[in-house]
Amino acid sequence: MFITKHDVTDALKEVIFFAGQNNIVDLNMVDDIEIKGDDVKVTIIFPKLDDPAVGIIYNSVVKTLKDKFGEELKVDVKPVSEADKGRGPLAGVKNIIAVISGKGGVGKSTVAANLAVALKRSGNSVGILDADIMGPSVPIMFGVEGERPGMMEREGKSVMVPLENYGIKILSLGFFIQPDQALMWRGSMINNAFNQLMTDSEWGNLDYLVIDMPPGTGDIQLTLAQSYNIRGTVLVTTPQKIATADVRRAAMMYRQEKLEIPLLGIVENMAYFTPADMPEKKYYIFGQGATDELANELDIPVLGRIPIVEKIREAGDGGSPVSLDDETPVTQSFIDMAANIQKQVAML
């Protein structure tokens, strides 16, 4: 039987991708069709390859083509991901950096916000996603609390348009909940919210997307590792041994065989206190040495040491990350930290 690409394409219109509520041809999922005699090879693009729909579509394509053209037809289905083909909502994002901690209260969000600003100041296009579902603080830190992202149509679907301030694209669950609203969500609801912020959004072209992760080792951490192409993680801790013990557990999560993501290094926040009237003094209020021990154990660098400075808190509360202020000496600490992170990314 002589079969043309048009014949195969027409037959594949019977194969439905239920997540897209349409057939794989009209959804532009059929990337290529090769025909050699009774051998047909079909390349199909999926949002992600670990989706159960991959197997369902695979079997449906084989059955549909054999029913149409005969059981003797040899059908080869090759699944590829949108990322592999330079497509999808995150295709324009070069590097996704997750900022993580083992426990709350170590200044993870402050580090993430100032990292985004410092990366922007060094000439990069940057976005920040606040994935700290239970305590979204990025809207406050960037002075966009109470605002809502825009909406646009993309491939027939409504998607969010991130807000922008200081030249940085911003999305947070905090845009969609009231300040006094308590979130009582199960794992599936948390994952759905996170995935929407990641993929149902128009991030455009970015050099870096910084993700402010929730503390600990929960559902979002697993979803991030299993479903997205993460360039690397930045660990945040304070100098106390109890804090480094918690961040050690978070780090080891990403070194499991099926979840391996590069650890770019560790940032020691609240490393020391220097009085404004005695800039030569350093008081190690929370101890010294535990961060270096952890870095040596994990064989990763210390990316930066951020001092305790009142200006950091004032700037964050005021909606203007301190890294925007050249008059504050601590700004250089964040700029150096961002430079070290970029060096680690370049080495991967």
Residue 230's pLDDT band (boundaries 50, 70, 90)?
confident
184, pLDDT greater than 70: no
182, pLDDT greater than 70: no
Tell me what pLDDT residue 259 has.
Answer: 66
Tell me what pLDDT residue 228 has.
Answer: 80
Whether 102 contacts 248, CB under 8 Å: yes
Of the three residues 81, 115, 131, the one that is the final residue of a domain is 81
The two beta strands, 150-154 and 157-161, are antiparallel
Same domain for 201 and 76: no
- The position carrying tokens 């809502």 is 148
Predicted confidence (pLDDT) per residue in 200-226, tens digit = 889 999 999 999 998 876 778 877 777
Whether 132 contacts 213, CB under 8 Å: yes
Tell me what pLDDT residue 185 has.
Answer: 64
Same domain for 151 and 28: no
Of the three residues 55, 81, 107, the one that is the final residue of a domain is 81
Predicted confidence (pLDDT) per residue in 102-144, tens digit = 888 899 999 999 999 999 999 999 999 999 877 789 999 999 9
67, pLDDT greater than 80: yes
Same domain for 101 and 52: no
> Which of 211, 234, 231 lies closest to 348 in space, CA to CA?
231
Q: Is residue 272 part of a domain?
A: yes
Q: Is residue 281 part of a domain?
A: yes
84, pLDDT greater than 90: no
Tell me what pLDDT residue 181 has.
Answer: 64
Query: In the chain, what percentage of residues exceed pLDDT 70?
Result: 94
Copy the structure tokens of residue 9: 């394409």
Query: In the chain, what percentage of residues exceed pLDDT 90?
Result: 57
Helix, coil or strand: residue 160: strand
Same domain for 101 and 39: no
Same domain for 305 and 171: yes
* Full 3-state SS string of 171-183: EEHHHHCCCCCCC
Copy the structure tokens of residue 43: 């390349």
Other beta carbons within 10 Å of 144: 21
Residue 180's pLDDT band (boundaries 50, 70, 90)?
low
Q: Is residue 23 part of a domain?
A: yes
Reported as type and span, the H/E element at residue 114 is helix 108-121
307, pLDDT greater than 90: yes
Find the mean pLDDT for residues 82-100: 83
Same domain for 232 and 280: yes
Same domain for 165 and 43: no
Other beta carbons within 10 Å of 345: 17
Q: Is residue 86 part of a domain?
A: no
Number of domains in the chain: 2
More confident residue, 203 or 90: 203
Q: Is residue 205 part of a domain?
A: yes
Question: How far, CA to CA in Å, does 119 sit from each of 107, 167, 207, 238, 261?
Answer: 18, 11, 9, 22, 21
- Averaged pLDDT score across all residues of the chain: 88
Burial profile 275-302: b = 16 or more Cβ within 10 angstroms, e = fewer: eeeeeeeeeeebeeebbeebbeebebeb
Q: Alpha-carbon distance 306 to 254, whole Å?
A: 24
Q: Is residue 87 part of a domain?
A: no
Tell me what pLDDT residue 303 has.
Answer: 98
Q: Alpha-carbon distance 220 to 192, whole Å?
A: 10
Same domain for 56 and 133: no
In what side-by-side order are the strands of the sheet with 302-308? Answer: 163-165, 168-172, 126-130, 206-212, 93-100, 232-237, 263-273, 302-308
Residue 165's pLDDT band (boundaries 50, 70, 90)?
very high
Predicted confidence (pLDDT) per residue in 142-160, tens digit = 999 989 999 987 766 788 9
Q: Alpha-carbon distance 238 to 269, whole Å?
A: 5
94, pLDDT greater than 80: yes
- Which range (185-199, 235-249, 275-289) has the least confidence? 185-199
183, pLDDT greater than 70: no
What CATH number has the domain bearing residue 65?
3.30.300.130
Residue 257's pLDDT band (boundaries 50, 70, 90)?
low
Same domain for 158 and 62: no
Tell me what pLDDT residue 345 has.
Answer: 96
What CATH number has the domain bearing residue 324?
3.40.50.300
Same domain for 59 and 106: no
Same domain for 343 and 300: yes
Whether 226 contacts 253, CB under 8 Å: no
Predicted confidence (pLDDT) per residue in 12-43, tens digit = 999 999 877 789 998 889 999 999 988 999 99
pTM score, whole prediction: 0.78
| N-to-C CA span, the chain | 50
Q: Which residue segment(s) compose the domain that 227 sits in?
A: 93-347
Same domain for 291 and 168: yes
Of the three residues 81, 114, 129, the one that is the final residue of a domain is 81
